[in-house]
Structure 1
């Protein structure tokens, strides 16, 4: 029986998932990753840690499932987007990777973000994108910038290690501000504006295409076949869409991971940069997607759990599953700035309405409501969808999904127990690249365990609370300047 391997390089961990040719998950393993924050607004990782994590998870799979691993026919990659991994002419890493949630390049992003950039890329140039990070390096680390021979996104550095090939794919490349998103090709003009050229860029493939073959030495290390096809793969959200079958126009998912995402697939290229939505290529040929992003979703609950010294699961469990009308306590989840709809790297989060009897349960509920309201912002920017599939760690909370359904006024479907996230989507992309099967027949929606409908009795209270939430941003922004 053939098997397929998905590798998903996240911010906090790297995950490997092994599935068989019937798309049943055989095993998975993960290894944690550390984020360094050497200055305010900075977020970095050492690429060597990604390789060590990959070795760890593949070693664990070999220990427990060596026979299945030996039958792997295709590998797919997924990863955190926007990171700037800088290599010299010998392929050595020049500095720690500047991550997606790093906001140091806000001035450079502002300078790059003009009508020309939006026309070419279809997007606002956000501080988290890759191009402004390189402009920051050029201005602040000029000697190092002169040594830059190539720039790779995080998962593509893992690919380089696996195959020896410098390759990226459309969904991840669309988040750099160097891609002509409509043409699905690098933009010479946007590269020139940051002192780079095509020579600095990896070769581009579609997510379902082969990008190279597994090196013989690494194959021998894990008992794999040398030369196994490694698919182009996808950025983490495009790969998650492949995992839950959001590959047809009009379908969508809502993700409650470290960041929050509202993702909808589209057949045509229809950019709307003025809304602060991302318009990116999908991991599948001929498709694009739009995506609203809030930078701190489940990450907000993680933050509160650290402050209160209680696990996120325990905080959520203390609230039960009954959906109630929101209280007066409001939380704005701008812990790392915000993208949709504000494009504001300087804004920071706040509780508003604390009082003497505020409890930890009140604070946890307000955090969950604030994240739901931020996802409503994303929906307002992009328009309604008929139904959303829920993914991410936060989707384990029935209360949060009930809240989202009522705030978004949209049914939210929870997949049946199983692993249908980015690593699963990456494995599906590896299957398509290895077999040539039609993606639509492979990337189907998983079985749905439960669908959460909007509560009509709470529609008005939630919209009133959302109005208060919206009114707080201008006041908070004035204080942040």
Structure 2
């Protein structure tokens, strides 16, 4: 089975567009930066700029000799956006990280247990934003989209759609029926006609319009599939790359552990979030971490002036192994296993022998300990950990995770395109009517070998002792800075 697909991943920091054939061969790929406009707690991007960037990426592929006459287009991208439309135009996208409307979290019109029964989760950011916009600026929007990839679909086809993965995070979708649940927004000033159609990831959203074809070079009439939010796309690709259904760890700006599941699980300790999986009747259980690559980057700037390679060398120094020094990485509050938005970071166990190298090493160990705690929450046990995200670029971090987990760490050699591979699986499934497993395996890249990192077993005993101390110390951070 074969086909050619154009797969686009519109993330928070970049847009990646690639042409992939059904044999897992990447014929060409382009990455373009995406700009975020910040003002205090306001975090926005400009949808028209998304479209300009997409057009540029498509034309670059063409200029590189890549034919855009494909069997289908499928997109993924950042989730939990609020993209208001007025008279068919969208000028701004309010991102998931935007804090406006957060006060509406306390204005539920349904008891929390009723909300959880419908959604599998508590309220999240998008619904409060919609309520805030409905109350404060009702004249500024008449329709809404929830994901960056859905804006690309709208510009390509004129269709307004959403997938169940991203639908989950709106707080307005019934996670069991995968349909909008009006009871969740009843009386809020939001109307059903303002919401996009919910489609399964492999369903056809529409076909490339003549105007879009002239701007992008993609032939008019090319099918465009609904695709899915990046959380679902990465999970789909990670499961296929790892060759198992046991979950994976994500180490980006923030972090998470994600595990495919057949049932919903409400956690009493820590924050567990559920997404509807691409497969109907299944879910993705996510244990999020607020501190990961953002803390790593802070450490690189603090000790090495932003020089990534210098930080890697600092950690590799022989004297950088300390048996007592701990770092609690809660620089931005935390959600797992300590739920405390006011939590702070801390070095513990400093003595006169501690050097910068010790502290740098302790930062990465603290991040790895946090990640391992989420795996315990998820009940995951595996001899190999599949690790994804920008943090995998660090050799030191990969090795630290392997040493802390005391298992092999597997990293995709084509890390930057992982979400694009997951999205492409939707198009492959649509064209060939195959199972999700077959589709995900079919679009795996065959160009590069996976990176495998083995643990240093000589560090096992020392790191286990430090981990026990870390768990005790981290637990004591809860509520410490609330006064």
TM-score (norm 1): 0.87
Give yes or no for the alignment of 1:187 onto 2:181: yes
1:97 to 93, 106, 128: 93
Give yes or no for the alignment of 1:178 onto 2:206: no
Task: Give, in angstroms, the shift of residue 250 of structure 1.
Answer: 3.7
Task: Give the match for residue 211 of structure 1.
Answer: 205
User: Secondary structure at 2:65's aligned position in 1?
Assistant: helix
Task: Give, in angstroms, the shift of residue 364 of structure 1.
Answer: 3.3
Task: Give the match for residue 51 of structure 1.
Answer: 51
User: Secondary structure at 1:225's aligned position in 2?
Assistant: coil
Unaligned runs of 5+ in 2: none
**1:359-438 to 2 correspondence within 5 Å?**
360-386=356-382, 387-408=384-405, 410-416=407-413, 420-438=417-435
**2:321–2:361 Cα contact (<8 Å) kept:** no
The verdict on how the C-alpha distance between 1:80 and 1:419 changes in structure 2, with shifts beyond 3 A counting, is: closer
Deviates more, 1:11-20 or 1:51-60: 51-60
The verdict on how the C-alpha distance between 1:251 and 1:194 changes in structure 2, with shifts beyond 3 A counting, is: farther
Larger radius of gyration: 2
**1:240-255 to 2 correspondence within 5 Å?**
240-246=234-240, 250-255=245-250
**1:98-247 to 2 correspondence within 5 Å?**
98-112=94-108, 114-126=112-124, 129-138=125-134, 142=136, 144-153=137-146, 154-192=148-186, 194-246=188-240
**1:208–1:284 Cα contact (<8 Å) kept:** no
The verdict on how the C-alpha distance between 1:340 and 1:216 changes in structure 2, with shifts beyond 3 A counting, is: farther
1:257 to 252, 259, 262: 252
**1:156–1:168 Cα contact (<8 Å) kept:** yes
Task: Give the match for residue 466 of structure 2.
Answer: 464
Q: How many residues align?
A: 469
**1:207–1:232 Cα contact (<8 Å) kept:** yes
Task: Give, in angstroms, the shift of residue 249 of structure 1.
Answer: 7.8
Task: Give the match for residue 31 of structure 2.
Answer: 30
User: Secondary structure at 1:339's aligned position in 2?
Assistant: coil
Task: Give the match for residue 305 of structure 1.
Answer: 300
Taking the aligned partners of 2:368 and 2:341, their CA distance within structure 1 comes to 20
Deviates more, 1:165-174 or 1:108-117: 108-117
Taking the aligned partners of 2:239 and 2:116, their CA distance within structure 1 comes to 29
The verdict on how the C-alpha distance between 1:398 and 1:309 changes in structure 2, with shifts beyond 3 A counting, is: closer
Taking the aligned partners of 1:45 and 1:419, their CA distance within structure 2 comes to 21
The verdict on how the C-alpha distance between 1:432 and 1:404 changes in structure 2, with shifts beyond 3 A counting, is: same
**1:246–1:252 Cα contact (<8 Å) kept:** no
Taking the aligned partners of 1:459 and 1:145, their CA distance within structure 2 comes to 60
Task: Give, in angstroms, the shift of residue 10 of structure 1.
Answer: 1.0
Taking the aligned partners of 1:137 and 1:376, their CA distance within structure 2 comes to 39
Deviations 1:396-421 (CA, angstroms, capped at 9, x unpaired): 33432332234345543223467651
The verdict on how the C-alpha distance between 1:158 and 1:338 changes in structure 2, with shifts beyond 3 A counting, is: farther
Taking the aligned partners of 1:373 and 1:109, their CA distance within structure 2 comes to 31
**1:56-95 to 2 correspondence within 5 Å?**
56-67=56-67, 69-70=68-69, 72-88=70-86, 90-93=87-90
**1:7–1:17 Cα contact (<8 Å) kept:** yes
User: Secondary structure at 1:443's aligned position in 2?
Assistant: helix
Deviations 1:193-235 (CA, angstroms, capped at 9, x unpaired): 6432322211011112222222222223333221222222121
Taking the aligned partners of 1:148 and 1:470, their CA distance within structure 2 comes to 49
Task: Give the match for residue 287 of structure 1.
Answer: 282
User: Secondary structure at 2:233's aligned position in 1?
Assistant: helix
User: Secondary structure at 1:55's aligned position in 2?
Assistant: helix
The verdict on how the C-alpha distance between 1:370 and 1:111 changes in structure 2, with shifts beyond 3 A counting, is: farther
Task: Give, in angstroms, the shift of residue 239 of structure 1.
Answer: 0.5
Task: Give, in angstroms, the shift of residue 155 of structure 1.
Answer: 2.0
Deviates more, 1:415-424 or 1:45-54: 415-424
Taking the aligned partners of 1:101 and 1:18, their CA distance within structure 2 comes to 30
**1:265–1:290 Cα contact (<8 Å) kept:** yes
Deviates more, 1:43-52 or 1:344-353: 344-353
TM-score (norm 2): 0.86
Taking the aligned partners of 2:62 and 2:15, their CA distance within structure 1 comes to 16
Taking the aligned partners of 2:26 and 2:61, their CA distance within structure 1 comes to 12
Task: Give, in angstroms, the shift of residue 168 of structure 1.
Answer: 0.6
**1:259–1:294 Cα contact (<8 Å) kept:** yes
Task: Give the match for residue 454 of structure 2.
Answer: 452
Deviations 1:351-402 (CA, angstroms, capped at 9, x unpaired): 5567787655444323322322222232232212324311112123343233
The verdict on how the C-alpha distance between 1:470 and 1:431 changes in structure 2, with shifts beyond 3 A counting, is: farther
Task: Give, in angstroms, the shift of residue 80 of structure 1.
Answer: 1.2
Taking the aligned partners of 1:394 and 1:123, their CA distance within structure 2 comes to 28
User: Secondary structure at 1:389's aligned position in 2?
Assistant: strand
User: Secondary structure at 1:81's aligned position in 2?
Assistant: coil
